[in-house]
Amino acid sequence: MNKQQNEQLNTLLKQGILLLESLSVIYDTELEALSSKDLDRLGDVTQEKTDLLNKFHQFTKDRVELLNTFGIEVEAGNYQIPSENASDSKEDEDTNTLHTTIKRLLKTLQQKNNRNEQAIYRNQQNVSQLLSIVRGHKKQDQLYNKAGNSGLYKAQSSLGKA
């Protein structure tokens, strides 16, 4: 790639990094909203996250199109450093650094997403248990446990007698 192409790619990569950093903040805010069970805030955060993810999707498409115009074939999900970009110039070094930063941020966001998913799962379990208590279901009356095995046989024998 020539110097102008490198500058175009670096500008685009910097925009992607800013988007990913914004997403990182959103994931932290989402966890706070989940922890405090603030549904209004969670709705707002979810909308912001959706908007940022759509922008990042567009960034990915723009990046692939730009690299294709340079004659470098890449796929949308591939953030490896293009092999055609293997020289030792200062511009190529900057591009390699930006690619590495994007890969690192994507890995961090994946971890934060998994963390938030676990928080949602725990909240869902808690709500299910509370609903069960409110409905008057006793834990020992469950036909099956979480693993799908037979629970205590009280509920099964009640069904058998019916």
pLDDT at position 162 over 90: no
Beta-carbon contacts of 154 under 8 Å, excluding residues fewer than 6 positions away, are: 140, 141
Q: Residue 24's pLDDT is what? A: 96
Ranges 81-85, 88-92, 106-110, 151-155, most confident: 106-110
Average pLDDT over residues 24-39: 93
Please list, residue by residue across 62-100, b when 16 or more beta carbons sit within 10 angstroms of its beta carbon and e when fewer do. ebbebbeebebebeeeebebbeebeeeeebbebbeebbe
For the full predicted model, state whether its pTM sits above 0.85.
no
Q: Residue 151's pLDDT is what? A: 57
pLDDT at position 104 over 80: yes
Superfamily of domain 3-137: FlgN-like (1.20.58.300)
CB-based contacts of 64-73 (< 8 A; 24+ apart in sequence): 66/8, 66/9, 66/12, 67/9, 70/1, 70/5, 70/9, 72/1
Q: Residue 15's pLDDT is what? A: 95
Q: Residue 134's pLDDT is what? A: 82
Give the integer Cα–Cα distance in Å for 57 and 71: 21
Average pLDDT over residues 41-63: 94
Pairwise pLDDT comparison (85 vs 144), residue with the higher score: 144
pLDDT at position 82 over 70: no
pLDDT at position 17 over 70: yes
